[in-house]
């Protein structure tokens, strides 16, 4: 056997090793070349953009929010300059370190720190976060001085919403605030740290119109995120100006007049156009608080106040309309073919089965026709009308007059009120409608609920010619009557207007609240809405005066009115919560509003505005009995 000779030639060994090393080097160079090709050719554009983004910062330019003005052009809401500091995470190498330096530099309480941390998480560390708003000059200078130590902290000029009339217009205008996460979504504008949107009132309803459109600016920045120069600029488009029907002078007067009560609301509107001249709710709040991040303690106090200052009671306050609803029942009877001469005898009560339904006047009114029934607000008379009509016919007329449904006013959070029917009770309670419930409904009690705005609209439709008037806040060009007819007979509406005029003349329930200037007289209807049930034992002891009860157990006082009587143009609805009788509390307030609106004559409808004569002694009137003092019409 031959032996295998091992190849030990050094030359051949070197050649093999060189080949392996060369192959490895070639592979590495190929990989490097491929990577360079990928970086420069395949993904070159992407990395160029990323490099540019590090050098060029594109920022939104926030639009100036539109002005809100009253009908005369008086500014009710405007935007004012302010400065804010924001943290831009993408321009901050170490967010935690930057925040620590910032917290060492300025005082931040625990709630502010939690809010910043929450906003960072919400934006997934990508979106700018507001650090502090409304910077004073001392804070602004301090931040500018330490800017190199705070990479990604940008100081910018912005806008803060200002409301010159403060509490006077708070419920109408509402306020602005930062968008919630759900509201902001992926919108770049809504995620801007200093941007605000309407949260309530006109600010919320007309958000799109007032918001405007953002612009943009391209800035060259250094490694610290500081601006080197501006490269391009697209200006923002400011929001549109919104003009309201509101008369700021009348609004101020109404809010001031309501402040004499503990809790009240009032509306003054045009019977022809539906324009709202005043919408006041007391107590109120200062809208400016929300423009500058309301303190937590102040928010908790407002939110827990039992008098609900944050709510616009003209829209959200739902009250039993009481005797103001008798106008609806009277119209339903006339539409059904009943004569205004229909007479019923009031002995002070009406018995139905084993229940007794009382009139507010303990001794009764005697024989009443429809005119007297309205003027003296006889409950027993309307019990009889209710029995003849039934609740469904009453409800049908109520809805024609704007009750029991949303009116569609240009404000959010409007409540629909409630007008019950047989079908409604069956659906909601699975019970049949009872005859006694019709009697209670006929005097505006029981399940009945209406807002002050609905009561004002009801009055406008009754006295303004029978058109389907709808209330509105925004002032439109050529704001004239263009509403469809309700199909009511002119003679029926005239009869009701005359009866309402009789309410504020001697013998009527609001005689002492009349306007004693010829040509400017008012008409109206009092109402007293019970909030508690009177027991048989209490009634046996005699009438309990509202003044003897705790405030929250007293009746609500209501009044709806219009002026001038000969050519109705202005209507009002007033509700004084737990104010007692409508004639004593609500009617004088409504009279003052109707005097003021006729003095100002915002519609330009009067031959000349009202001028009140100097105060002189009033002619003697018989003692005025307060409707509802006997807890009108409660079933025992």
Would you say residue 114 has pLDDT above 90? no
What is residue 54's predicted lDDT score, i.e. its pLDDT?
53
End-to-end CA distance of the chain: 134
Q: 459 and 550: one domain?
A: yes
Total number of domains constituting the chain: 2
Output the domain CATH number for residue 589: 3.40.710.10
Distance, in Å, from the CA atom of 270 to the CA atom of 602, rounded to the nearest integer, reads 9
Report which of 56, 64, 225, 244 is spatially closest to residue 158, judged by C-alpha positions: 64
Higher local confidence (pLDDT), 224 or 301: 301
What is the pLDDT averaged over residues 28-46? 70
Identify whether residues 406 and 338 lie together within a single domain: yes
What does the DSSP 8-state code read for residue 552? Answer: G
The mean-pLDDT minimum among 6-20, 261-275, 579-593 falls in 6-20
258 and 234 in a single domain? The answer is no
Q: What is the pLDDT of residue 631?
A: 38
Task: Confirm whether 288 is domain-assigned.
Answer: no
- Within a domain: residue 66? yes
**Does residue 8 have a pLDDT over 90?**
no
**What percentage of the chain exceeds 70 in pLDDT?**
86
**pLDDT band at 86; cut points 50, 70, 90:** confident
Please check whether residue 632 lies inside any domain of the structure.
Answer: no
Question: 209: domain CATH number?
Answer: 3.90.1310.10
pLDDT band per the 50, 70, 90 thresholds, residue 629: very low
Which residues in 69-82 are b (16+ Cβ under 10 Å) and which e?
Answer: bbbeeeebbbbeeb
Q: What is the mean pLDDT of residues 224-248?
A: 83
Say how many CA atoms lie within 13 Å of 516 toward its Cβ: 13
Q: Is the pLDDT of residue 554 over 80?
A: yes
Highest mean pLDDT among 122-126, 153-157, 417-421, 538-542: 417-421
118: in domain: yes
Question: What is the rounded CA–CA span in Å between residue 245 and residue 601?
Answer: 12
When pLDDT is cut at 50, 70 and 90, the band that residue 367 belongs to is very high
Are 254 and 239 in the same domain?
Answer: no
pLDDT value, residue 225? 54
- Rounded mean pLDDT of the chain? 87
Residues 230 and 340 both lie in one domain:
no
Phi then psi dihedrals of residue 12, to 5 deg: -70, -35
501 and 423 within one domain: yes
Question: Residue 368: pLDDT above 90?
Answer: yes
Look at residue 30 and tell me if it is in a domain: no
CA distance linking residue 462 with residue 401, whole number of Å:
8
Supply the pTM of this predicted model: 0.84
Largest CA distance in the chain: 155
Is residue 246 exposed (0-12), middle (13-18) or buried (19+ Cβ within 10 Å)? buried
Q: State whether 372 and 235 are in the same domain.
A: no
Question: In terms of domains, do 466 and 495 share one?
Answer: yes
Of the candidates 624, 129, 95, the residue with the CA atom closest to the CA atom of residue 361: 624
Confidence of residue 236 (pLDDT cuts 50, 70, 90): confident
pLDDT band at 383 (very low <50, low <70, confident <90, very high): very high
Helix (H) or strand (E) holding 601: none
pLDDT score of 364: 95
- 23 located within any domain: no
Domain boundary among 243, 268, 295: 243
Of 10 and 345, the structure prediction assigns the larger pLDDT to 345
The partner residues of 525 in beta bridges, in order of sequence, read 560
- In this structure, are 235 and 257 located in the same domain? no
Residue 523 lies inside a defined structural domain of this protein: yes
pLDDT for the residue 137: 79
Q: pLDDT by residue (tens digit) across 128-171?
A: 788 887 777 788 788 888 888 888 787 777 788 999 999 999 99
225 and 260: one domain?
A: no
Same domain, residue pair 340 and 224:
no
Coil, helix or strand at residue 527: strand
Q: Is residue 113 part of a domain?
A: yes
What residue numbers bound the domain in which 334 lies?
248-283+310-473+490-600
Question: Are 268 and 379 found together in one domain?
Answer: yes
- Assign 630 a pLDDT band (cuts: 50, 70, 90): very low
Q: CA-CA distance, 360 to 124, in Å (whole number)?
A: 66
Residue 26: count other Cβ atoms within 10 Å of its Cβ.
10
Q: Taking 60 as the threshold, does the pLDDT of residue 50 lie above it? A: no
């Amino acid at each position: 056997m031959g032996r295998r000779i091992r190849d030990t030639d050094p030359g051949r060994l070197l050649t093999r090793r060189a080949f392996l090393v060369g192959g490895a080097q070639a592979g590495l160079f190929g990989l490097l070349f491929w990577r360079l090709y990928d970086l420069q050719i395949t993904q070159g554009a992407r990395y160029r953009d990323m490099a540019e983004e590090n050098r060029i910062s594109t920022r939104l330019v926030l639009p100036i929010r539109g002005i809100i003005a009253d009908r005369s052009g008086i500014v009710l809401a405007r935007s004012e300059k302010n400065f804010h500091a924001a943290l831009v995470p993408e321009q901050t190498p170490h967010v935690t370190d930057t925040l620590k330096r910032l917290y060492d530099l300025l005082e931040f309480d625990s709630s502010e720190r939690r809010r910043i941390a929450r906003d960072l998480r919400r934006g997934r560390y990508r979106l700018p976060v507001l650090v502090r708003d409304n910077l004073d000059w001392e804070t602004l200078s301090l931040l500018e001085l330490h800017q190199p130590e705070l990479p990604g902290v940008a100081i910018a000029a912005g806008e803060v919403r200002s409301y010159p009339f403060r509490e006077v217009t708070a419920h109408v205008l509402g306020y602005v605030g930062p968008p919630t996460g759900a509201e902001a979504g992926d919108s770049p504008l809504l995620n801007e740290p200093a941007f605000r949107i309407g949260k309530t009132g006109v600010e919320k309803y007309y958000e799109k119109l007032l918001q405007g459109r953002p612009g943009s600016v391209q800035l060259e920045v250094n490694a610290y995120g500081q601006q080197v120069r501006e490269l391009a600029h697209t200006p923002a488009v400011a929001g549109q100006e919104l003009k309201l029907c509101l008369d700021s002078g009348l609004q101020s007067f109404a809010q001031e007049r309501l402040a004499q009560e503990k809790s009240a609301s009032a509306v003054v509107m045009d019977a022809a156009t539906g324009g709202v001249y005043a919408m006041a709710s007391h107590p109120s709040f200062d809208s400016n608080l929300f423009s500058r991040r309301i303190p937590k303690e102040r928010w908790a106090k407002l939110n827990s106040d039992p008098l609900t200052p944050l709510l616009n009671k003209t829209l959200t306050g739902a009250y039993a309309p009481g005797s103001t609803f008798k106008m609806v029942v009277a119209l339903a009877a006339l539409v059904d073919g009943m004569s205004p001469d229909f007479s019923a005898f009031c002995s002070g009560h009406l018995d139905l089965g084993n229940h007794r339904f009382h009139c507010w006047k303990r001794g009764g009114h005697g024989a009443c026709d429809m005119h007297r029934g309205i003027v003296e607000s006889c409950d027993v008379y309307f019990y009889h009308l209710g029995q003849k009509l039934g609740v469904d016919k009453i409800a049908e007329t109520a809805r024609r007059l704007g009750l029991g449904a949303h009116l569609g006013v240009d404000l959010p959070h409007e409540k629909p009120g409630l007008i019950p029917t047989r079908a409604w009770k069956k659906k909601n309670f699975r019970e049949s409608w009872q005859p006694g419930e019709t009697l209670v409904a006929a005097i505006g009690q029981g399940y009945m609920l209406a807002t002050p705005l609905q009561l004002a609209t009801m009055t406008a439709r009754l006295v303004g010619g029978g058109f389907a008037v709808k209330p509105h806040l925004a002032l439109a060009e050529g704001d004239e009557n263009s509403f469809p007819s309700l199909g009511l007979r002119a003679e029926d509406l005239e009869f009701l207007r005359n009866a309402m005029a009789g309410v504020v003349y001697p013998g009527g329930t609001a005689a002492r609240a009349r306007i004693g200037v010829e040509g400017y007289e008012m008409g109206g209807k009092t109402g007293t809405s019970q909030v508690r049930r009177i027991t048989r034992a209490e009634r046996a002891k005699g009438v309990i005066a509202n003044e003897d009860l705790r405030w929250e157990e007293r009746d609500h006082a209501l009044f709806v009115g219009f002026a001038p009587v000969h050519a109705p143009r202005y209507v009002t609805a007033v509700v004084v919560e737990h104010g007692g009788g409508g004639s004593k509390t609500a009617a004088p307030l409504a009279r003052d509003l109707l005097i003021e609106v006729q003095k100002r004559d915002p519609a330009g409808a009067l031959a000349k505005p009202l001028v009140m004569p100097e105060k002189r002694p009033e002619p003697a009137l018989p003692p005025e009995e307060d409707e509802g003092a006997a807890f009108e019409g409660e079933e025992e």
